[in-house]
Structure 1
Amino acid sequence: MNNFIYQRLSQSMLSAIIIATATLNVSGVQANNNLSFIDEINHRSAESDASPVNAIFHGELVEDPCVVSTESETQDVEFGQREKTFFYIHSDNPVTTPIAFNLILKECDLTLGKKVKVSLIGDDDSEDPGYLRITGQAKGVAIGLASTQDGTVVEMPINTGITYFLHDQSDNIIPFQAYLKGNPKRIENKTIVEGDFTAIAEFQLEYD
């Protein structure tokens, strides 16, 4: 069975910045008969020992403006069986009919955020950058992603995001599409390999 599974990332954002500083103060010492510089070195070493390296952490935990519906948390998008010859026959446009799925956000509080940037995070296909890599027996195809924004279908390369405005009057339904794309070089060389495959991507939500 061919599975394309989407899973939601934790929405709470925690940012951390680590700043480490250290200074070596002893420099430019020349050998001479005046040993007073030794006292200066010892004095500076004592100051250095008394000043440990600093690690400063900054962070913020925020409340999510929306609740992800339970039916959106894990989704299984079935492509079914596809013949590899389909991609050879349609080499000028080697993509399958898109399959629709939705991310549904509920109970949005616009005082906490009026926009959400939705990204799909997964493994980039090495032969077709921007497309989601599949794993399994099959080779030579990747998964393309798209979304609908203001009534227009927009390509959504893997690991990139699209920003949507939120509405608090009803559920926020964000539509997506997934399709299979044949690799041009493998189509030309007739080296697409049949077999089962799976791909996993995760929703990442950033509110603003």
Structure 2
Amino acid sequence: MKRLFYYLALTMLMPSAFAIENNVQISGQLVAEPCTLSTDSSAITLDFGNLVSKYFYQTSRTPGEPFAIVLTECDTSLGNSATVTFKGTESVALPGLLVPDDGDTHGIAFGIETDEGSPQPLALNQPSPVFALANGTNTLALRGYVQAEPDAIAAQSLTAGPFIATATFQIDYP
């Protein structure tokens, strides 16, 4: 019992350095997004299958492969437009296009463009033109394509083999 009183007395004599008032401040802003990204749009895969290298020597790129980013539960009172920014490693030979993940360009790069009306290219790492939103579900129709690098076409040096390229996208509501 004496020992208990000894420890209690000792802790009462210790400085209160262990309890500093207001040493952490947390702040932020809670915002409401105008739309929700559909779960079907959270991981998009484009499969171009087998592409014959000789095809690129005649025409520099493939036709666009359609895909969509679907936004649901849109509320235009919170925002009536959106932009999409695709992020990834940009091609040196074809600025604005995405290079394969392995770093070996194979002489190709991947592009993205709009799929409505006259297609507009969407440059990598830059916001897209504005997409108008309506209440409810909105589909941002896009296309991906493979394009050969001009030097690889001129030298006929496209490298055969599998390729994978990965980009992430960010939706902003300006």
Deviation of the 1:97 alpha carbon: 1.4
So what's the TM-score if we normalise by structure 2? 0.78
Question: Which moved further from structure 2: 94-103 or 114-123?
Answer: 114-123
Question: Is the counterpart of residue 67 in structure 1 residue 33 in structure 2?
Answer: no
Q: Which amino acid aligns with 2:31?
A: V
1:162-181, aligned counterparts within 5 Å?
Answer: 162=128, 163-168=130-135, 170-181=136-147
Deviation of the 1:129 alpha carbon: 1.1
So what's the TM-score if we normalise by structure 1? 0.66
1:192 and 1:74 map into 2 onto residues whose CA distance is: 29
On the 8 A contact 2:93/2:150 being kept in 1, the answer is no
On the 8 A contact 2:53/2:160 being kept in 1, the answer is yes
Question: Is the counterpart of residue 99 in structure 1 residue 68 in structure 2?
Answer: no
Deviation of the 1:188 alpha carbon: 0.9
On the 8 A contact 1:138/1:196 being kept in 2, the answer is no
SS in 1 for 2:172: strand
SS in 2 for 1:103: strand
On the 8 A contact 2:93/2:149 being kept in 1, the answer is yes
Unaligned runs of 5+ in 1: 1-56
SS in 2 for 1:76: coil
Q: Out of 148, 165, 173, which is 1:199 matched to? A: 165
Question: Is the counterpart of residue 185 in structure 1 residue 151 in structure 2?
Answer: yes
2:111 and 2:82 map into 1 onto residues whose CA distance is: 22
Deviation of the 1:58 alpha carbon: 8.5
SS in 2 for 1:144: strand
On the 8 A contact 2:97/2:110 being kept in 1, the answer is yes
SS in 2 for 1:179: strand
Question: Is the counterpart of residue 85 in structure 1 residue 85 in structure 2?
Answer: no
1:121-140, aligned counterparts within 5 Å?
Answer: 121-136=87-102, 139-140=106-107
Q: Out of 143, 156, 159, which is 2:110 matched to? A: 143
Q: Percent sequence identity over matched residues?
A: 29
Report how many residues are paired.
Answer: 147
Q: Which amino acid aligns with 2:148?
A: G
1:94 and 1:140 map into 2 onto residues whose CA distance is: 11
On the 8 A contact 1:138/1:195 being kept in 2, the answer is no
Give the aligned partner of residue 27 of structure 1.
none
RMSD between superposed Cα atoms in Å:
1.9
2:40 and 2:55 map into 1 onto residues whose CA distance is: 32
1:59 and 1:126 map into 2 onto residues whose CA distance is: 39
Q: Which amino acid aligns with 1:203?
A: F
Which whole-Å deviations, capped at 9, do the CAs of 1:65-98 have from their partners, x for residues lacking one? 101111111011101011111112x1xx411111
On the 8 A contact 1:138/1:194 being kept in 2, the answer is no
2:33 and 2:153 map into 1 onto residues whose CA distance is: 45
